[in-house]
Each structure stands twice: as C-alpha cells, then as structure tokens.
Amino acid sequence: MAASLAIASSALSTLYRIVVYLFLQVAPVSKAKYVIPVLYLGYALASYFGAPAFSQVIAVKEEVVAIEQEKSERNGHVVTDVAVQETTTIIPVVEPPTLKSALSAIIFSVPSPIRALRTTNFVINTLLLLAAVEFVFYPYFDSASDVVYTRVGALYPDAVKIVVRYPAANSTENLVRVVWRQADGKNDSETPWREGPIANLTAERDWVQSVSLRGLWPSTSYEYRFEDLNSTALPYPTTPIQFHTAPDPRLHSGSHYRFIASSCMTPNFPYMPLQGRRIKGLDLLTDYLWPSKPHSTAPSSAVAQNISDEDMSMSTSPVIQSVNDTSAENVTAPANITTAVPAPEKSVPPTAFMVFMGDFIYADVPIYFGDDAEAYRRLYRRNYNSPSFRKVYERLPIIHTYDDHEIINNYAGLGNSSLPPYPNATNAFELYNADANYDPIEEGQYYYDFRYGDAAFFVMDTRKYRSDIFSDEPSSHTMLGDKQLTALYNWLGKVNNTAVFKFVVSSVPFTALWTYEALEDTWAAFPYEKSALLSAFQSVPNVIVLSGDRHEFAAIEFAAGDGGHNVLEVSTSPMSMFYVPFIRTLKPRSEEVVNRTREEVIIKEDGNMEVVKHVEEVPREKVLKYIAEGNYKWSTIEVDTRDYAHPVVRVEIMIDGKPAYHLEVLGKPIKLQSTTALGALVPQSLRGMLDRIGLKPSRWF
C-alpha cells in the first residue's frame, strides 16, 4: 500500500508541475486555479503516507572465505588439504545517489529513498503553489490606491485631452490646475507658464479626471505640469510632460508619421516571481520607441516586391508589397515581381500616438473578483502603477477602445447599458481610458472618429450593441447596432474623397478565417452585417482594418470584384500576454470566392495587339502572413502621403522586441482640396511670439 502511494505521489507531483507551468508560463486558464491546489493536496497526502516504502534500501553483499583444515604427508610429500566455504552475509546499506539519479528524482519527481531529495521535491512544489497564489491574488492586494499619474489622450490641431490622477490625503476633493507652455527646445526655461483648466478630483471618481487644453497651434510641441490653486508647482511630474499637437487636416501638404497598434495586456505574464507590476511588452516597446542605441530601419532581408507603374495603373486597389518575408506562399502580388536589394536606411518619422484596441485589463483572468466598481478600478490603477507602462504613457499619447475582458469574457451587451456587469465595468473604463479619447459621435457612446493629418480613423464599439448569436434569426444579428452602423456609413461617405487612408479599428478580427471560439466572438458570428460592411469598405479606396483580440498576428487581404477596392486587415495582439503554442486556428483562405477580370495583351502575327479578358476566381479572404508565436506583439503603422501620386502605408510587425514582418501598401491617389487655414501656415517661431503677446491661435484656422 505504501509503495502504491509513493508512486501516486510521484505521478501527482509531475502532473501538478505541468499544470502550474502551463498556468504561469503558457496560458492562465481560469480553471487551473482550482486544479492546482487539489493536485498539491493530493501530492502532499500521498507523499506523507507513502514515505515508509522508500525509507531504506537493502543491499546484498557476498563474501568468499577460504579455511585451511590440516596438513599431511603422502608418498613423501607434504599435502595441504583446504576446504573452501562460501558464505553470504546480508548487510543493510543506504547508497548515496549519483548526480544523475538525484537530478532525475528532483526534476521528474521520481520516488527516492533519500529523505533530502523527498524534502527538496516538497519544497519545490510548495514554492510553485506560492507562485500561483501570488499570481492569482496579487491584483487584489496591490490596490495601487495611491498611484499618481498623468497622460495625454486625444490630439487635436488646436487642443489636447489630458488625464490626471492625484489623490489627496484626508480629503474628498483635490483641485489641480494644468499649466502649459510651448516647448520648442530652445530656452524653454524662459518661456512663462500659462494657466490652463482646473481638474476637480474627487474620491467618488477615484481621483481621476480628463480635461481639455485648448487654444493651441497645430503641429506644435508643448509641455505641461500641475500646480495647486496657490500657483505652487506640485511634485509630480518631476519633469513636464511633452506632447505634439495634430497637423491641420485642411493643410493638404502630405503627412509622414507613425503610430502603434496592439491590444491585450496584463502585468507579469509570463509569470516571474516578485514582478507583479511589470509589463514586459511595454518594456520592449519603450526600447523600440526610445532606444539607448539607434535601431536600423532597413529590412533585414533582401526579399521585396516591386510592382511596375503599368501594373499600378491597371489596379483600382491598394497594391500590397511584402518585405522581409521568407515564406513565398504567404505573398500575393501581380505577376510582374522582381527581386530588389535591401532599401537604404531611412529616417524614422515621429511616433504620434498609440491605438490600444481592447483587453486593457483582464477582469476575469486568472480570477474574477466580482461585479464591483472597486474591483474594476483596482485593475486600471494597477496598470497605471506599472513602471513599464509609465515609461510609455508619460511620453506617448494613447487612445482606447474596449473589448470583453474589460467586462467579462465574450460579453454581449444586447444594447442594454444597465445589464450587469456593464455599468461598473464601463464606469472604470470611462474614468481611466474613454474620457480621454476623441469626443464620441453621440454623447455617452464609446465609438468615435478622428482625423490625423490626411488620414481618417473610425473606432468601433463591438461590445455594447452585439446580439446574442444563439437566439433569433442570424440575419437580425448585429455587432454595432443601428446608430453605430449609420455613423460608420456616414463616416465612409464623408472621408471617401477627403482623406487618403481610412483606418477602421475593431477590437475583434473582421476576418472569418479564425476558427474555434473565434467563430462566436469575432465578426464571423455576424455574417450578414459583415458582408454589408465589407461591400461598403470596398467601395472606398485605401481602407485598412486594424484589429486585435486573438493573441496572434495576421495580415488578411479581402479581394474585391471588378471596380472595387481591396481591403487589408492587420490584426495584432497581444501587447503583453499569452499565446497558444502548437495549436493553429487560422485558415489560409476562405472558401467563398469573387470573380475578377484580368486583361492580357496579346501581339498577333500581323503586329496588331489584342486585349483578351480572363475571368478568374480568387478567395474573398486570403492570409498574407500569419505569425502565432510571441508573447509581445505590436504593429507600427507608418503613414507617408508626402508624394501625392504614391501614398504609402508601411507596416512593421514587432514580436518579442524584434522585427518579424514588413508590409507595404501603395494607396490610390486621392485629390484633396487645399486649405485656407492661416494658422497652419505660420512658422512655429512666430506662433511662440504671438502666444507671448496674448493672441489666440485657434481663431486663425
């Protein structure tokens, strides 16, 4: 019996370690937090009662004894008679283990007679249990109630939104004034501070408020800090926070900037002991954006695709070029493809902002602390208390949308804003993230649109209005709801010829190629609404969909029929979370096809040319590139419209801090009207002088 328990102890210990490893390093599945203590208890009991079976080892030692009995004389010779007797002595011996056997006993939990090895296994398993407990309960005990922070959200040509959290001791209210000035890098210390808005911070609102700073110049650098009402500078921030206003969209001289897109993050995953506030993906992003040593911006591979001017003139869709891709099967382009040498190093444009596409917190992973306003707020405070995140949000403006894990897994709101846990969950989302976004299209909503230079953005709300897909007719299911759909269609019409590139932000993938649970949580579950939207997207040139959620990267091309425009989707996540190894859930192409006419010029024997049209079937959705591996992923989207005839978007995919894939989208030229905005044409040096004499630049444009 004891021997059986000892073997069971070894088996339970091995299974326990596997489950803990998967929970802390691979995927923090919620059910594991119940399985782990049960396995540990089973291992401890079996180890305790099975120990006597391995308390001693009996070794058998054989001895041979020679005994001389007598000597005698025979035939004149002395003869010695010897009797040989074999005896076996049983001696109990506990032999010391070899290094190999000791390591096997510790690593694989092999039953051992050595008490020290059994004790070592027990200590290791106990430490693993404590690690799991720390990972699960750290968010609860790390309330971060005293965190002080500020960041920039929405950037306008003449304004900016600023978030501040500044709790006051022994009070229920704290009045903090924003003071600001232009920051041109020259004699900033001599530039006087100007009084800005006052943030009325209250305990009821968790000491958080977003304020708007207005009357600014477009494309201008500023800095701000805080004072109390007595004009005394507050200790935080220790150095002023800088930002750069958006360009005037009416000045169509072209833009060149980049922004970051990603989603899904939680502190300390994969788990490391005593690192509860670290978000490693943001540490890598910090090094990428502000490296101590400059990074090379040239592709590391000599593989590229060049499309001739003739091919471009025949296409009404953006031409997609894949750079630094060693997998030829993942590349699509017209037939005329040549190999190019690596591009020379280029100057890196400024990073203007970051779009965070949801799952900013994980309210239900690894444990759901309940539908309580404080439970949700605590998780936001924890993120903003992270030194990793602070290095980013104090230097980079961030705008947000939300997804299910800000509420609860696979949440569908049914258009009911009072449906628990939506009210408390979105209260925290508003305070910490949404209030600093661009103004919503309709008051009280979380979808919005904005312009940055000559690019337009529409950020969806994919949770509040989504239907229950398991009820009613599929044709009636909606992701966005009637009002949001109307706003999106109106936006498409408005930006059709007034913006070069159009970015549609969806927290969940637009493609239907992801399988398993994605068939219920992504746009695949809303085929009718998706099909109508895709038709609308393909009627507008240069539409790019940005999405997250799947903890993988994929670039998807949506093919259009004749006269339409191809649409590209770039889906990127996680910023800092798990990915699932070995299991692949993305189909390479859709079964649904579209017909497209291809023209071929044939030269006859008589020298005349004949244009032959071929109708070919192409997949409606096709994967250009798929990368599942990596705990830390983000996309860098570079928008370059300085060359009116050749606008381009360059996408760089960063995985675990290293470049993994490059994509180049050549957009269709859009003729935009010129501006009459005088303020956009004024040099920054003159703007500073006008500011000092009290002229309001916002009246000039």
Looking at the predicted structure, is the pLDDT value of residue 602 above 80?
A: yes
Looking at the predicted structure, is the pLDDT value of residue 329 above 50?
A: no
Among candidates 552, 572, 556, which has minimal Cα distance to 330? 556
pLDDT for 250: 87
Least confident of 158-172, 313-327, 414-428, 589-603: 313-327
pLDDT band at 54 (very low <50, low <70, confident <90, very high): low
Element (H, E) at 211: strand 208-214
Mean pLDDT for 490-511 is 97
* Cis preceding linkage at 421, omega within 30: yes
pLDDT band at 98 (very low <50, low <70, confident <90, very high): confident
Looking at the predicted structure, is the pLDDT value of residue 326 above 50?
A: no
* CA–CA distance, 348 with 26 (Å, rounded to integer): 35
Considering just the CA atoms, what is the radius of gyration of the chain in Å? 34
More confident residue, 441 or 698: 441
Among candidates 185, 387, 396, which has minimal Cα distance to 289? 396
Which are the contacts of 206, defined by CB distance < 8 A and separation ≥ 6? Answer: 165, 377, 381, 428, 431
Q: Does 214 share its domain with 280?
A: no
3-state secondary structure of 156: coil
397 burial type by CB count under 10 A (0-12 exposed, 13-18 middle, 19+ buried): buried
How large is the greatest C-alpha to C-alpha distance in the chain, in angstroms?
142
Element (H, E) at 289: helix 280-289
How many domains is the chain built from? 3
pLDDT for 423: 97
Q: Does 367 share its domain with 478?
A: yes
Cβ burial 341-378 (10 Å sphere, 16+ → b, else e):
eeeeeeeeeebbbbbbbbbbbbbbbbbeeebeeebbbb
Mean pLDDT for 478-504 is 97
Structure tokens belonging to residue 73:
């004389």
Structure tokens belonging to residue 113:
């007679």
Residue 599 placed within a domain: no
Element (H, E) at 82: strand 77-92
Q: Distance between alpha carbon 63 and the CA centroid of its chain, in Å?
A: 71
Looking at the predicted structure, is the pLDDT value of residue 358 above 90?
A: yes
* CA–CA distance, 539 with 360 (Å, rounded to integer): 33
Q: Does 38 share its domain with 104?
A: yes
* CA–CA distance, 567 with 547 (Å, rounded to integer): 13
Q: Does 446 share its domain with 490?
A: yes
Whichever domain contains 189, its CATH number is 2.60.40
pLDDT for 348: 87
Q: Does 185 share its domain with 122?
A: no
Residue 603 placed within a domain: no
Which are the contacts of 227, defined by CB distance < 8 A and separation ≥ 6? Answer: 176, 177, 179, 233, 234
* CA–CA distance, 302 with 44 (Å, rounded to integer): 58
Among candidates 504, 513, 512, which has minimal Cα distance to 485? 504
Among candidates 324, 295, 289, which has minimal Cα distance to 627? 324
- How many residues can be counted in the chain? 701
Structure tokens belonging to residue 317:
């869709």
| DSSP summary character for residue 26 | I
Residue 469 placed within a domain: yes
Q: Does 454 share its domain with 324?
A: yes
Looking at the predicted structure, is the pLDDT value of residue 320 above 90?
A: no
Looking at the predicted structure, is the pLDDT value of residue 699 above 50?
A: no
Q: pLDDT tens digits, residue range 429-462?
A: 999 999 999 999 999 999 999 999 999 999 999 9
Looking at the predicted structure, is the pLDDT value of residue 221 above 90?
A: yes
Whichever domain contains 487, its CATH number is 3.60.21.70
Q: Given the DSSP bridges, would you call strands 543-547 and 501-506 parallel, antiparallel or unpaired?
A: parallel
Q: Given the DSSP bridges, would you call strands 455-459 and 501-506 parallel, antiparallel or unpaired?
A: parallel
Residue 594 placed within a domain: no
pLDDT for 425: 98
Q: In what order do the strands lie in the sheet with 241-244?
A: 194-202, 173-182, 221-227, 241-244
Mean pLDDT for 577-586 is 94
Residue 656 placed within a domain: yes
Mean pLDDT for 390-413 is 97
More confident residue, 87 or 101: 101
pTM: 0.86
Residue 323 placed within a domain: yes
Among candidates 365, 407, 355, 332, which has minimal Cα distance to 575? 355
484 in Cβ contact with 445 (< 8 Å): yes
Q: Distance between alpha carbon 550 and the CA centroid of its chain, in Å?
A: 9
More confident residue, 600 or 532: 532
DSSP string covering 445-468, please? -S-EEEEETTEEEEE---STT---
* CA–CA distance, 316 with 493 (Å, rounded to integer): 18
322 in Cβ contact with 330 (< 8 Å): yes
Looking at the predicted structure, is the pLDDT value of residue 76 above 80?
A: no
Domain boundary among 109, 141, 173: 141
pLDDT band at 294 (very low <50, low <70, confident <90, very high): low
CB atoms within 10 A of CB 429: 23
Residue 346 placed within a domain: yes
Structure tokens belonging to residue 47:
């180890």
Among candidates 298, 310, 294, which has minimal Cα distance to 340? 298
Q: Does 275 share its domain with 361?
A: yes
Looking at the predicted structure, is the pLDDT value of residue 463 above 90?
A: yes
Computed over every residue of the chain, the mean pLDDT equals 86
Which are the contacts of 3, defined by CB distance < 8 A and separation ≥ 6? Answer: 50, 53
Q: pLDDT tens digits, residue range 236-262?
A: 999 999 999 999 998 888 999 999 999
Q: Does 639 share its domain with 524?
A: yes
pLDDT band at 292 (very low <50, low <70, confident <90, very high): confident
Mean pLDDT for 625-649 is 97
Q: Does 325 share its domain with 366?
A: yes
Mean pLDDT for 542-562 is 97
* Cis preceding linkage at 366, omega within 30: yes
Q: pLDDT tens digits, residue range 180-190?
A: 999 977 666 77
CB atoms within 10 A of CB 488: 20
CB atoms within 10 A of CB 185: 7
pLDDT band at 322 (very low <50, low <70, confident <90, very high): low
Mean pLDDT for 531-558 is 97
Q: Given the DSSP bridges, would you call strands 593-603 and 609-619 parallel, antiparallel or unpaired?
A: antiparallel
Q: Does 643 share its domain with 564?
A: yes
* CA–CA distance, 507 with 356 (Å, rounded to integer): 9
Q: Distance between alpha carbon 491 and the CA centroid of its chain, in Å?
A: 27
pLDDT for 385: 98
Domain boundary among 214, 244, 274: 244
Q: Does 240 share its domain with 260?
A: no
Q: pLDDT tens digits, residue range 394-404?
A: 999 999 999 99
- Ramachandran bin of 75, using left for φ above 0, alpha for ψ from -120 to 50, beta for the remaining angles: left
pLDDT band at 609 (very low <50, low <70, confident <90, very high): confident
* CA–CA distance, 336 with 103 (Å, rounded to integer): 59
Residue 250 placed within a domain: no
Q: Does 176 share its domain with 278?
A: no
Looking at the predicted structure, is the pLDDT value of residue 335 above 90?
A: no
Q: What CA–CA distances, in Å, run from 9 to 6, 23, 49, 109, 252?
A: 5, 21, 9, 8, 72
Domain boundary among 189, 215, 244: 244
Among candidates 58, 683, 60, 594, which has minimal Cα distance to 317? 594
Which residues span the domain enclosing 332? 256-372+387-417+431-588+624-670
